Amino acid sequence: MSFPRGAVVLVAYPNSDLRSFKKRPALVVQAEHVITGLAQTVLALITSNLTRTGPTRVRVLRNSEAGSRMRLLVDSVIVCDTLQTVSTDAIVRTIGVCPVMNEVDSALRTTLSL
């Protein structure tokens, strides 16, 4: 199963014990036309730690239009300098869509020096 770029998904991330996991939101940043032949996708993590700020991060307030469309439960930060490639099997479901991809793209360009 593939997930479109800009989809906000819940992902099963392992805890430090590697036996249990917690569902966390993440943003699909991989382009849809990229076909790797593997059941995986590239995600930017979303955190509720609002102290994580800077040019490589995008703040989204829960009560804003973006927060509503992303279906975030709390004020959050899209962390574009913490990218992960995950198996699509780890993605539990799609919860929303990110309407601020232009800001995410800018943060990704800074992260990747593009």
Residue 98 has pLDDT above 80, yes or no: yes
Question: Which pTM value belongs to this model?
Answer: 0.91
Q: Which residue carries 């309407």 as its tokens?
A: 99
What pLDDT was estimated at residue 32? Answer: 85
pLDDT, tens only, 6-62: 999 999 887 777 788 889 999 999 988 887 888 999 999 999 999 988 999 999 999
Which residue ranges form the domains of the chain, and what is each CATH number?
7-108 (2.30.30.110)
Phi and psi angles of residue 76, each rounded to the nearest 5 degrees, phi first: -145, 170
- Select from 62, 84, 64 the least CA-distant residue to 72: 62
pLDDT, tens only, 48-84: 999 988 999 999 999 999 999 999 999 999 999 989 9
What pLDDT was estimated at residue 1? Answer: 64
